[in-house]
Amino acid sequence: MLTELGYETLREFRVGSSRRVDVIGLNADGEFVIVEVKSSAPDFRSDRKWSEYLGYCEKFYFAVADDFPHALLPDECGLVIADGFGGVVRRQSPIGSMNGNRKRSQLVRFAMTAGHRLRRAHESYK
């Protein structure tokens, strides 16, 4: 879904000093989007770290199954209904901003991580 919206993505990407987001995307305008996947209401209720991700993206979404109780999710976050085949944006994320130094650092880390993962994948096919 993010690819169709113009983003290149990485899974399990480190932001900050010790947090990993489920999915992060970067588009041609240099805009970051983070998608946090929640498998159940207890999964969401036990997660206290998602709000820390907001400073590392311009857009933030929760991705949940159609039967997830949507009322639990904060209105100030985007909403994606997803399954094993794709997803649909049900509620657009507000557009935030990132600190310039943090953004530059994250752009470099995104590129280095993508390159490293591509090299490892290529080497595993030899």
**86-119 burial: b if 16+ Cβ within 10 Å, else e:** ebebeeebeeeebeeeebeebeeebeeeeeeeee
Phi, psi of 121 (to 5 degrees): -65, -40
Give per-residue pLDDT as tens, 14-53: 998 789 999 999 999 999 999 999 999 999 999 889 999 9
**Please, which residues have CB within 8 angstroms of residue 51's CB and are 6 or more apart in sequence?**
none
Name residue, tokens 């650092």: 105
Predicted confidence band of residue 126 (pLDDT cuts 50, 70, 90): low
- Give residue limits of the domains in the chain: 7-124
**75 token code pair:** 């209105």
